């Protein structure tokens, strides 16, 4: 009986590490930065789906699976250990499916939906205005500074790659 109880305790401790990683991953899904309409998610959907947490979960569960297979092959897997493993394995699968679904269905912020329009517009203006034209008109109406100023403003906004 002690062997079965000890296996159950060992498995629960090992699965606790998996749940901790799932919770870390879950806590990052809705993290945002910025303010008002310039708010963006801290982590992209792609980075969440390919996060270090997924790799840690894979590594931990691979080790747990190896342990259970070894116990079973050596006739050391108790009935309590098997039940605990099956229960925890199913729970991990459900939690991961849920987290991955939440990530995949996460709504983008307003700025994530439309911010690219502003940056694309500024790039287009820069492409339309060669340096010669900017030098010619720059002193009169300040066109030369406009793209630079716009770039600096955009660099300050959340989600900018120049932060």
pLDDT in tens, 85-103: 999 999 999 999 999 999 8
Q: What is the pLDDT of residues 29-81, one digit of tens each?
A: 887 888 887 787 888 888 888 889 989 999 999 999 999 999 999 999 899 99
Contacts of residues 123-132 at CB distance under 8 Å and 24 or more positions apart, as own/partner, are: none
Q: Crossing angle, helix 52-73 and helix 79-104, to 10 degrees?
A: 160
* 107 exposure class (CB count in 10 Å sphere: 0-12, 13-18, 19+): exposed
pLDDT, position 61 = 94
The two structure tokens encoding residue 4: 């079965």
């Amino acid at each position: 009986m002690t062997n079965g109880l000890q296996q159950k305790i060992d498995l629960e401790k090992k699965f606790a590490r998996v749940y901790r990683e799932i919770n870390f991953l879950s806590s990052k899904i809705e993290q945002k930065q910025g303010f008002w309409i310039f708010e963006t998610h801290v982590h992209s959907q792609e980075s969440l789906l390919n996060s270090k947490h997924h790799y840690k979960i894979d590594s931990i569960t691979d080790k747990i699976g190896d342990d259970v297979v070894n116990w079973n092959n050596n006739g050391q897997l108790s009935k309590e250990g098997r039940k605990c493993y099956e229960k925890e394995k199913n729970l991990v699968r459900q939690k991961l499916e849920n987290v991955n679904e939440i990530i995949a269905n996460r709504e983008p912020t307003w700025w994530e939906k439309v911010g690219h329009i502003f940056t694309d517009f500024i790039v287009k203006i820069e492409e339309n205005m060669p340096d010669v034209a900017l030098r010619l008109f720059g002193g009169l109406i300040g066109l030369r500074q406009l793209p630079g100023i716009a770039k600096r403003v955009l660099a300050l906004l959340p989600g900018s790659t120049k932060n």
